[in-house]
Amino acid sequence: MIPRTALSDHADVPRRNAAIDSGQMRDYIAPMADNINSTFEHELKRLEKRVDALVRVCDQLQDENRSLKQRQDVLTSERANLLQKNEQVRARVEAMIGRLKAMEQGS
């Protein structure tokens, strides 16, 4: 069995719909819709600013990453040159030591 209060609530539905359709509620609904649109536009602009900021950060990080990769390439090349020079110096020192030992044994 449906309670009487529930039945009376359903009886008011057509009256409420008629009030909305008649324009009595338009004065309330229009400002509410404008407020919702305004809030939506504000949030959309805020989101757009955040996305733009994120794009700028990504661009900066890409530039920095590119620069760091170039710097790493330069340092790797310098390291390879220094290792090669180190090996050349080591070979010369060992050759000098060999000649000095040979001179000692010859004297």
Q: Which residues contact 25 (CB under 8 A, 6 or more apart)?
A: 19
pLDDT band for 13, please (50, 70, 90 cuts): low
| Residue 61 forms part of a structural domain | yes
| Residue 96 forms part of a structural domain | yes
Structural domain that includes position 91 = 30-106
Q: How many CA atoms lie within 13 A of 18 on its CB side?
A: 5
| Residue 4 forms part of a structural domain | no
| Residue 2 forms part of a structural domain | no
DSSP 12: T
Q: Look up residue 46 and give its two tokens.
A: 């805020």
| Residue 5 forms part of a structural domain | no
Backbone angles phi, psi at 58, to 5 degrees: -60, -40
* Report field, pTM of the whole predicted structure over 0.85: no
3-state secondary structure of 105: helix
| Residue 19 forms part of a structural domain | no
CB 25 within 8 A of CB 19: yes
List, for residues 25-55, the tens digit of each pLDDT value: 555 556 666 778 888 899 999 999 999 999 9
> What is the tally of structural domains in the chain?
1
| Residue 23 forms part of a structural domain | no
List, for residues 45-102, the tens digit of each pLDDT value: 999 999 999 999 999 999 999 999 999 999 999 999 999 999 999 999 999 999 999 9
Percent helix, strand and coil across the chain, each to the nearest 5: 95, 0, 5
| Residue 11 forms part of a structural domain | no
Give the pLDDT of residue 100.
Answer: 94
